[in-house]
A and B are shown apart, each in its own frame.
Chain A
Amino acid sequence: MNGRMTGAKWLAGLAGAALLCAVPRFFSLDYYLHMFVMSEIYAVLAMSLALIVGFSGQVSMGHAAFYGVGAYASALISLKSGLPFWVTIWCAGAVAGLLSFVIGKMVLRLRGHFLAITTAFFGVLVTLILNNWIELTNGPMGVPGIPRPSPISLPGLTLSFETRADYYYLGLVFVGLVAFLLYRLVNSRIGNALIAIRENEELARSIGVDAMAYKVFAFTLGGALAGMAGSFYAHYILFISPVTFTIAESINLLVMIIFGGMTTLFGPVFGAVALTLLPEFLRMAGSLRLVIYGVALVIFIIWLPLGVWGTIKSKWMERRG
Chain B
Amino acid sequence: MLMVFLQQALNGIILGCIYALIALGLSLIFGILEVANFAHGEFYMLGAFMALFSMSGLGVSFFPALLIAMIGMGIIGAIIERAVFRPIVGKPLINSMLLSFGLSTALANLALLLFGADPQKIESGLADYHLRFFGLHLTAERLMVLVVGVALVTLLAWFIQSTRTGKAMRAVSQDRVAAQLAGINVSRIYTVTFAISGALAAAAGTMVGAMFFVSPEMGFSVTLKCFIIIALGGFGKIRGVIVAAVMIGLAESLGGGFISYAYKDAYPFLLLVLLFMLKPQGLTGGSGR
Contact = CB atoms under 8 A, between A and B. Distances in A.
Interface of A: 53, 59, 106, 110-114, 116-118, 120-121, 124-125, 128, 131-132, 247, 251, 254-255, 258, 287-298, 300-302, 305
Contacts of A132: 262-263
Q: What are the 3 A-B residue pairs with the smallest beta carbon separation, nearest first?
A: A294-B106, A297-B102, A294-B105
Contacts of B272: 117-118, 121
B147 interface: no
B45 interface: no
A128 B262 contact: yes
A139 to B, nearest CB: 10
B251 to A, nearest CB: 13
Nearest to B103: A298
A22 B145 CA distance: 63
A299 B266 CA distance: 33
B123 interface: no
Nearest to B282: A114
B101 A302 contact: no
Interface string B215-253: 000000000100110010001000000000000000000
Given A113-B231, A125-B266, A298-B103, 7 more contacts: A116-B97, A131-B262, A258-B94, A287-B113, A291-B109, A297-B99, A298-B106
A93 to B, nearest CB: 26
B289 A112 contact: yes
Contacts, number: 110
B231 A295 contact: no
Contact of B93 (A113, A121, A125, A289): A113
B136 interface: no
Contacts of B227: 113, 117
A290 B106 CA distance: 6
Interface residues of B, number: 40
Nearest to A252: B101
B277 interface: yes
Q: Is the contact region of chain B dominated by helix, strand, or loop, or is it mixed?
A: helix
A127 B228 CA distance: 18
Interface in B83-99: 84, 87-88, 91, 93-95, 97-99
B193 interface: no
30 contacts: A106-B277, A112-B289, A113-B36, A113-B93, A113-B235, A114-B231, A114-B288, A117-B269, A118-B273, A121-B273, A124-B224, A124-B266, A124-B269, A125-B269, A128-B263, A251-B98, A251-B101, A254-B97, A255-B98, A258-B98, A291-B106, A291-B109, A294-B102, A294-B105, A295-B102, A297-B101, A297-B102, A297-B106, A302-B87, A305-B91
Nearest to A286: B113
Contacts of A113: 36, 93, 227, 231, 235
Contacts of A110: 276, 280
A59 B88 CA distance: 18
A199 B110 CA distance: 39
Contacts of A295: 102, 106
B109 A120 contact: no
A293 B99 CA distance: 11
B256 to A, nearest CB: 13
A301 B36 contact: no
Given A124-B269, A132-B262, A298 B113 contact: no
